[in-house]
Amino acid sequence: AQKVTQAQTEISVVEKEDVTLDCVYETRDTTYYLFWYKQPPSGELVFLIRRNSFDEQNEISGRYSWNFQKSTSSFNFTITASQVVDSAVYFCALSEAPGSARQLTFGSGTQLTVLP
Amino acid sequence: GAVVSQHPSRVICKSGTSVKIECRSLDFQATTMFWYRQFPKQSLMLMATSNEGSKATYEQGVEKDKFLINHASLTLSTLTVTSAHPEDSSFYICSAGGNPYEQYFGPGTRLTVT
């Protein structure tokens, strides 16, 4: 069975600080996909990134960066120079195997609060 | 890009009544749609997998007779909460699989049962 753990329930930082959100996953499959989503107070999920299990390259998109390490089953997310608009709940998720649409297993989420 | 809509966005109903939530893929066909439920300050939990033209597959602990799912076309899945009770109050989110590697989420429906 697959499992996603986000040990940080809540994080609070001051604007312009860097912050890293941790994600650890468990799966028996060798092929899988990892995701990060942002959920602002409105509730709508915002897709941030998808990474397949064969691509361990780190990725940077603006102030966002992701560190995927299969050796430690982690897929951590860093926001550089945080802004108040980054305040939201962030979910890490896992989907096993391609071939057809698969349901996502979500972590418990991390509430990020960026203070002005 | 792929867009999924949900209707209504918010609904308040009285205990004992039924409420239907629609999930539509607007610009693509989805043979599979998923229904998630999210209680306040909790994660999204999969309720069921809806396949076009066949019966939905429910996750353990989800009552199929209470949460009726119909996926009659490639662009529409509906979730009906029957005989709703206050404990069914939650945020219901659907997603649609447009291709094998992605899911597109609807904006969610906030259900309040009084």
Q: Is the pLDDT of residue B16 over 70?
A: yes
Whether A106 sits inside 8 A of B43 (CB atoms) is yes
Mutation target among B9, B91, B103 for the A interface, most CBs of A within 10 A: B103
Whether B101 sits inside 8 A of A33 (CB atoms) is yes
Do A91 and A39 touch, CB atoms closer than 8 A?
yes
Residues with Cβ < 8 Å from A79, sequence gap 6 or more?
A18, A19, A20, A21, A63, A64, A86, A112
* Strand pairing class (A64-69; A110-115): unpaired
Residues of A in contact with B107 (CB under 8 A): 42-44
pLDDT in tens, B47-96: 999 888 888 999 999 999 999 999 989 999 999 999 999 999 999 999 99
Whether A101 sits inside 8 A of B91 (CB atoms) is no
pLDDT in tens, A74-109: 999 999 999 999 999 999 999 886 555 577 899 999
Residue B54's pLDDT is 86
* B2: confidence class by pLDDT, cuts 50, 70, 90: confident
Do A85 and A113 touch, CB atoms closer than 8 A?
no
Whether A91 sits inside 8 A of B43 (CB atoms) is yes
Of B104, B75, B109, B74, which is closest to residue B92 (Cα–Cα)? Answer: B109
B20 close contact with A: CB closer than 8 A: no
Question: In angstroms, what separates the C-alpha of A80 from chain B's closest C-alpha?
Answer: 25
